[in-house]
Amino acid sequence: MMQLDVFFPIHYKAGNAVEIILRSSVNLSRQQVIILWIIAAEGVDGKVMPRKSIEAALSDWLEISSSSISKAIRSLSAPPLKLVELREHPQSGREKMVYLSKKGERFIQRMFKNGTSFLECVIEKLSDDEIDMLIHIFSRTSEIFENYPGPFRSIPATR
């Protein structure tokens, strides 16, 4: 139980704080921000990703329907946002590729800059030993979680 008492506040409180900072000054839903984040983090060159891959990651992460994901992607591509562009997949006319637009790329850079600035303020309050310990714990935990199904992991999620 002690592990959950430590893990939950870090995961929930810190995760929510970072998400709030990433979403600050934008009127986007959580799903919309995560779609942009997924493309930047997991997409080819951080700029393009098949819609089906976005759908797979989001449905595992947020447990939302395919139609909700499609609606969120369409809203990101429509005026006034125009943060992504939808194009046909080169190998399949039925599949769509989701590209960050130039405006979307700038938005992602600002979003990550806001997150980095926030985390720098947090890290400034830690000693070098505490920072080294956190890096070790997060790196090791990430390695362990690679062996479990879910989004952004080597083992696919099972349904």
The reported pLDDT for the residue numbered 12 is 78
The reported pLDDT for the residue numbered 159 is 41
Q: Please, what are the averages of pLDDT over each run of 10 residues along the chain (159 residues)?
A: 71 80 79 90 93 85 83 94 92 88 93 88 93 88 77 52
Q: 2-47: per-residue pLDDT in tens?
A: 666 777 777 778 878 888 887 776 788 888 988 998 999 889 999 9
Predicted TM-score (pTM) of this structure: 0.76
DSSP string for 101-145: -HHHHHHHHHHHHHHHHHHHHHHTTS-HHHHHHHHHHHHHHHHHH
Domains parsed from the chain with CATH numbers? 22-125 (1.10.10.10)
Which contiguous run of DSSP H or E holds residue 47? none
Record the tokens describing residue 131, joined without a space. 């920072």
The reported pLDDT for the residue numbered 156 is 54
Half-sphere exposure of 141 (CA within 13 A, CB side): 9
CB environment 70-105: b (16+ within 10 A), e (fewer): eebbebbbeeebebbbeeeeeeeeeebbbbbbeebb
Backbone φ and ψ for 8, nearest 5 degrees, come out as: -60, -50
Record the tokens describing residue 30, joined without a space. 């959580």
The reported pLDDT for the residue numbered 85 is 96
Which contiguous run of DSSP H or E holds residue 94? strand 92-100
Nearest to 81 by CA among 89, 90, 72: 72
